[in-house]
Amino acid sequence: MSLQAYRESVVYDCAEVTYDPSLGAVHIEWTDSARGEDYRAVLATGLEFITEKQATNWFADIRELGNVHPADQEWTNEVWFPHVFSTSLTRMAVVQSQQRFRQTPRKKRTLEFGDELTHRYFDSRQDARAWLDA
């Protein structure tokens, strides 16, 4: 077994990526805004953790992330998500600010990607954890 298999967290200036074995989840706690290489490095590390741990859940708290730059959103949709779809991940819980959550139309709070992946937004960490733990 490689030493990487024992890695439980990676800390960046803008986020911490950890693995929560109790939820089988990669957990990303954004602590500041990020753009470009910083943003992409955090998501790439999360993807590595999914693969290393065979994680089935993703738990991201994006309340401190702020707005994602359009170029980074495009990269996420066109590069990162296609890789995610080929992993063990089945649920993604994303905690956003209460204001942003209220602005998100109900029909867009839960997104289904075929039978493989469900992506859902929450306005509290407790609700997100409960959903992942169900």
Which DSSP string corresponds to 95-117? E--HHHHHHS-GGGSEEEETTTE
Confidence at residue 7, expressed as pLDDT on a 0 to 100 scale: 62
Confidence at residue 74, expressed as pLDDT on a 0 to 100 scale: 95
Confidence at residue 112, expressed as pLDDT on a 0 to 100 scale: 78
* The pLDDT of residue 1 is above 80: no
> Is residue 57 within a helix (H) or strand (E), and if so which, with residue range?
strand 57-61
Q: Please, are residues 47 and 84 in contact by the beta-carbon 8 Å criterion? A: yes
User: How far, in Å, CA of 82 to CA of 14, rounded?
Assistant: 24
Confidence at residue 23, expressed as pLDDT on a 0 to 100 scale: 95
Give the helix ranges, DSSP H, for the chain: 36-53, 70-75, 81-84, 98-103, 125-133
What digits encode the pLDDT tens for the residues 89-122? 999 999 998 888 888 888 878 887 877 899 999 9
* The pLDDT of residue 3 is above 80: no
User: How far, in Å, CA of 23 to CA of 89, rounded?
Assistant: 12
What digits encode the pLDDT tens for the residues 75-87? 999 999 999 999 9
Q: Nearest Cα to 60, choosing from 103, 121, 133, 131?
A: 121
Terminal C-alpha separation, the chain: 31
Length of the chain: 134
CATH number of 3-133: 3.30.750
Mean pLDDT of 4-19: 83
User: How far, in Å, CA of 125 to CA of 90, rounded?
Assistant: 18
pTM (two decimals): 0.89
